């Protein structure tokens, strides 16, 4: 595939750049990004940013036009991701809705569900979280224990979810629960579009080692969902779950552009830091490290392009998203670990004491451990690659 950009694609890039310059908060592109003081202001700011993206037609460019997207081409998606990474655009508060729930509903949901939910996902009016992981059902989702019991046209749901991203700001949850017990654990699971704003739902924060609050525990005590809020068929939720996970892992692969930028920033840091009045980059060992990181990050990028090409031909992402997810998350963690080591004793400093009073490297290093877990652990990705791409025998222990 030819990855040079056509004049039309460069026009698309310039259109996006211009919009970002006009709509990002003042000083953002120059590096002044502290536009909120606490979690509440952050949530309000990110909802506002989502509304701006929606109004400008930039919230979900790959979506079909009938759902509010631009039907962007593969190359336009690449341009979009590159430009967003370049300006370190604010996080997408409705990431789960845009990249996972919306595409899954378009593929599997009823017409009523599409009309009810999709536009509000795009505008950020309803923020979504994902209710998959439980204390005893993380990578093995077939072990889910949260129960849903039929009561007329309602389902009474009890159980606990954990590691729920955006749960503290979410209006809705794409939730899985056990509705029946069969010999095969994969059967008897149903997907619900749960209203988070009800008495039976309680959210508690999980504070990470970087001091941030991205994840939550969610307790379900006689929470209620309705027949109209079921995606797919009762007891046949595994197919729906796998569809959403394919979209999730495909989206995670897009972090390859962040990895590329972080490598470039790491090179710049090795030029700025001195050892015996010489740039660290002049040290042969540092240069060897940079060459190794460049080679593998470039390989990740090209592999991502290859998998995107296959996605374009098939019309939906496949198991190859696991390759992107595994490569990018593991290499990101390694690159950020190297960035801390290269700084020497300054690498253990944090917040205002870090280099240039900015703990960018430290914050991202601590966060990177979660990237190898969220969306399916590295071990699960290896199983998926082995079984679904390489055709190796299945793990008989599962």
For residues 75 and 6, what is the distance between their CA atoms, to the nearest angstrom?
Answer: 9
Question: Does residue 40 contact residue 49 with C-beta atoms inside 8 Å?
Answer: no
For residues 41 and 207, what is the distance between their CA atoms, to the nearest angstrom?
Answer: 17
Dihedrals phi, psi of 131, to nearest 5 degrees? -100, 75
The DSSP symbol for 137 reads: B
- Partners of residue 279 on adjacent β-strands: 274
Determine which one of 83, 126, 248, 260 is catalytic. 248
- Tokens at 28, concatenated: 């953002």
The DSSP symbol for 12 reads: H
- Count the Cβ atoms, other than its own, within 10 Å of residue 396: 5
89-126 in b/e burial notation, b at 16+ Cβ within 10 A?
bbebbbbbbbbbbbbbbbebbeeebeebbbebbbbbeb
Say whether 71 is catalytic.
Answer: no
For residues 142 and 186, what is the distance between their CA atoms, to the nearest angstrom?
Answer: 5
**DSSP 3-state of 28:** coil
- Tokens at 93, concatenated: 């508060």
Of 97, 67, 289, 81, the closest CA to residue 174 belongs to: 97
- Helix H segments across the chain? 7-23, 39-56, 74-86, 95-96, 102-108, 111-123, 237-253, 256-272, 284-314, 321-342, 360-371, 378-384
Axis crossing angle, helix 284-314 with helix 321-342, rounded to the nearest 10: 160
Would you please indicate which residues are annotated as catalytic (active-site) residues? 248
């Amino acid at each position: 595939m030819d990855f040079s950009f056509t004049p039309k694609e460069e026009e698309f890039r310039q259109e996006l750049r211009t919009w970002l310059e006009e709509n990002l908060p003042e000083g953002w592109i120059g590096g002044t990004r502290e536009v909120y003081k606490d979690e509440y202001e952050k949530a309000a700011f990110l909802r506002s940013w989502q509304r701006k993206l929606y109004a400008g037609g930039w919230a979900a460019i790959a979506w079909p036009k009938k759902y509010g997207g631009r039907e962007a081409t593969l190359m336009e998606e690449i341009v979009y991701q590159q430009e967003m990474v370049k300006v370190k655009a604010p996080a997408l508060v409705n990431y789960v809705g845009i990249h996972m729930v919306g595409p899954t509903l378009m593929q599997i949901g009823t017409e009523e569900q599409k009309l009810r939910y999709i536009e509000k996902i795009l505008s950020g009016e309803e923020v979504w979280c994902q209710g998959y992981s439980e204390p005893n059902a993380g990578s093995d989702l077939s072990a889910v224990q949260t129960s849903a019991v039929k009561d007329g046209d309602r389902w009474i749901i009890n159980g606990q979810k954990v590691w729920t991203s955006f749960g503290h700001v979410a209006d809705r949850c794409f939730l899985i629960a056990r509705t029946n017990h069969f010999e095969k654990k994969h059967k008897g699971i149903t997907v619900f579009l749960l209203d988070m704003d009800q008495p039976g739902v309680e959210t508690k924060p999980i504070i990470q080692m970087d001091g941030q609050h991205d994840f939550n525990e969610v307790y379900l005590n006689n929470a209620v969902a309705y027949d109209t809020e079921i995606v797919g068929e009762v007891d046949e939720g595994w197919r729906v779950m796998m569809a959403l996970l394919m979209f999730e892992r495909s989206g995670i692969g897009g972090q390859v552009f962040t990895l590329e930028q972080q490598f470039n920033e790491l090179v710049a840091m090795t030029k700025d830091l001195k050892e015996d009045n010489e740039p660290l980059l002049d040290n042969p060992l540092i240069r060897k490290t940079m060459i190794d990181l460049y080679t593998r990050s470039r390989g990740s990028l090209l592999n991502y392009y290859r998998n995107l090409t296959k996605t374009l031909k098939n019309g939906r992402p496949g198991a190859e998203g696991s390759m992107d997810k595994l490569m990018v998350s593991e290499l990101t963690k390694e690159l950020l670990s190297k960035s801390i080591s290269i700084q020497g004793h300054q690498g253990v400093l944090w917040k205002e004491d870090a280099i240039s009073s900015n703990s960018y490297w430290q914050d991202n290093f601590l966060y990177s451990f979660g990237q190898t877990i969220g969306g399916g652990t590295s071990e699960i990705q290896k199983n998926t690659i082995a079984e679904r791409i390489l055709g190796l025998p299945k793990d008989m222990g599962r």
